[in-house]
Amino acid sequence: MKNVIVTAILLFGLITFAQEGQISTNNGRPAQMGQKQNFTPEQRAELQLKRMTLHLDLNQKQQVEVKKLVLELAKKRETIKTEMRAKRENGLKPSDEERFANQSQMLDEKIAMKTAFKKILTPEQMAKFEENLANRSEKMQARRINKSKKFANKK
């Protein structure tokens, strides 16, 4: 009887420990599937180009043009990200005017990106591309909603 109890306690502890997951360097929080890696802008652009080539069936000429565009966008994102991180570390929060300017700039860049992709892609490829963007947007919104629900439940 004593052995059964000890075995049950050990199994319970083992199962509980196994479910905790690995601890990442992300402030001691559990590692998550699909966690972003710290890739360089060039690496991110290369991976995005390969995904787009598979999804949209790009030819060589399109690949060269898309790679230039994606690399440029990745570098812009990286500079914006480092600026925002530096401001956050200094404890500076953007004012309402700065937020408006940032959002306006981001939308202008999205419009420019869409125009550039329209020049490169065929109409069929562009339709697939826009469909993919819409799906990603829906997934991100759902994730935000779930995240806010989890946060509200913790309080």
Q: What is the pLDDT of residues 98-147, one digit of tens each?
A: 889 989 998 999 899 999 999 999 999 999 999 988 898 888 888 888 87
Half-sphere exposure of 112 toward its Cβ, with a 13 Å CA cutoff? Answer: 10
Q: What is the pLDDT of residues 31-45, one digit of tens each?
A: 555 556 788 889 989
Q: What angle do CA 88, 90, 93 make, to 5 degrees?
A: 50
Alpha helices per DSSP H over the chain? 2-19, 41-56, 60-89, 96-120, 123-154
Residue 40 · residue 4 · CB < 8 Å: no
Q: What is the pLDDT of residues 48-65, one digit of tens each?
A: 999 999 999 999 999 999
Exposure string (b/e) for 16-39, b if CB count within 10 Å is 16 or more?
eeeeeeeeeeeeeeeeeeeeeeee
The confidence band for 153, taking pLDDT boundaries of 50, 70 and 90, is confident
pLDDT value of position 31: 52
